[in-house]
């Protein structure tokens, strides 16, 4: 099975651009714009990596990520946010990554590929 990502960001333009970019680079991607739709998509389709904005309209992105990680322990999570976040607030370990917006697309793609390396 090819690795698949779920982009969770309330900025629909950003999510759409990222989805298109990943698909153009051979990585299937889905989008969700809030926590509720993210949970529904996550439950319907196996995702290997989540790209999560920390600030979502209906739930804290950190809480959402923790909840989804509990459902599927093997999922990797990359926090991508323009918000000021203290690193000590973020989960750590090989299943987690963090990048601040704006990030050059090539840098983001390399990070995603590195994180997916285990499940490709």
What proportion of the chain, given as a percentage, has pLDDT over 70? Answer: 88
pLDDT digits (tens, 9 = 90+) for 64-88: 999 999 999 899 999 988 766 555 5
Helices 105-116 and 12-24, interaxial angle, to 10°? 60
SS3 71: helix
pLDDT digits (tens, 9 = 90+) for 93-105: 678 888 988 899 9
User: Which of 3.40.50.2300, 3.40.50.300, 3.40.50.10320, 3.40.1350.10 would CATH assign to domain 5-116?
Assistant: 3.40.50.2300
What is the spatial distance between Cα 88 and Cα 8, in angstroms, rounded to a whole number?
22
Cα separation of the two ends of the chain: 8
What is the spatial distance between Cα 50 and Cα 9, in angstroms, rounded to a whole number?
10
Domain spans, the chain: 5-116
pLDDT at residue number 86:
55
pLDDT digits (tens, 9 = 90+) for 51-69: 999 989 999 999 999 999 9
Q: What is the mean pLDDT of residues 5-27?
A: 96
């Amino acid at each position: 099975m090819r690795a698949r990502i779920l982009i969770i960001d309330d900025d629909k333009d950003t999510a759409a651009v990222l989805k298109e970019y990943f698909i153009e680079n051979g990585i299937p991607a889905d989008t969700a714009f809030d926590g509720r739709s993210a949970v529904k998509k996550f439950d319907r389709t196996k995702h290997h990596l989540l790209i999560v904005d920390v600030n979502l309209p209906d739930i804290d992105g950190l809480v959402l990520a923790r909840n989804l990680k509990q459902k599927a322990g093997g999922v990797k999570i990359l926090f991508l946010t323009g918000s000021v976040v203290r690193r000590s607030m973020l989960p750590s370990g090989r299943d987690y990554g963090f990048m601040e917006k704006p990030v050059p697309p090539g840098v983001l793609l390399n990070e995603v590929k590195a994180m997916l390396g285990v499940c490709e």
